[in-house]
Amino acid sequence: MRTLIRTLVVDDYAPWRQFLRCKLRMHDEFEVVAECGDGPEAIQKAKEFQPDLILLDIGLPTLNGIEAVRHIREVSPESTILFVSQNRYPEIVEEALTMGADGYVLKSDAATDLLPAIKAALEGKRFISVSLASHFGVAPQFLQKRA
């Protein structure tokens, strides 16, 4: 019997959460255990569900995704965290990864990059959207195994 990848989806835009749910439902190894739309609720849901995977936006109300990651790492340290954001500033991407994210996917690239990013992150590798890496010259260390 295959173990499901228990997933928490966090984004303040409900249609985007629906897109992510639909994308994951196309693959029978995922189970969306919860979803929410702001940072404090993301921390609470992470603590409650201890998900295997958290898909997290940066631009959240009340507490942004980067700040939320700091707290999520404390309450659910084993969760793999993948940012899915429209923010493409290299400083933000680097800060997100430094704060404990396992990868970073641009929303505009999610149709092609989301599943490879999830696979890489769950294997202990960092992933960054290909268009971000080439546009900003992000170093390949983001694609190597996490320490």
Per-residue confidence (pLDDT) for residue 90, from 0 to 100: 84
Per-residue confidence (pLDDT) for residue 134, from 0 to 100: 65
Per-residue confidence (pLDDT) for residue 1, from 0 to 100: 55
Domain count across the chain: 1
- Is a pLDDT exceeding 80 seen at residue 43? yes
Angle at 69 between CA 81 and CA 2, to 5 degrees: 25
Per-residue confidence (pLDDT) for residue 94, from 0 to 100: 87
Q: 79: which residues sit within 8 A by CB, 6+ positions away?
A: 8, 46, 50, 51, 52, 53, 54, 72
Domain limits at 77?
A: 5-143
Q: Give burial (CB, 10 Å; 0-12/13-18/19+) of 91.
A: exposed
Measured in residues, the chain has a length of 147
Per-residue confidence (pLDDT) for residue 2, from 0 to 100: 61
**What are 102-146's pLDDT values in tens digits?**
999 999 999 999 999 999 999 999 899 888 876 555 544 445 444
Decide if 127 contacts 143 (C-beta within 8 A): yes
**What are 74-96's pLDDT values in tens digits?**
999 999 999 999 999 888 988 99
Per-residue confidence (pLDDT) for residue 22, from 0 to 100: 93
Decide: helix, strand or coil at residue 116: helix
Per-residue confidence (pLDDT) for residue 145, from 0 to 100: 47
pTM, to two decimals: 0.90
CATH number for the domain spanning 69: value is 3.40.50.2300
Question: How much is the mean pLDDT over the chain?
Answer: 89
Q: How much is the average pLDDT of 7-29?
A: 95
- Which of 111, 55, 58, 62 is closest to 79 using CA atoms? 55
Angle between helices 14-25 and 110-122 in degrees, nearest 10? 60
Cα gap 39→55, rounded to integer Å: 12
Per-residue confidence (pLDDT) for residue 12, from 0 to 100: 97
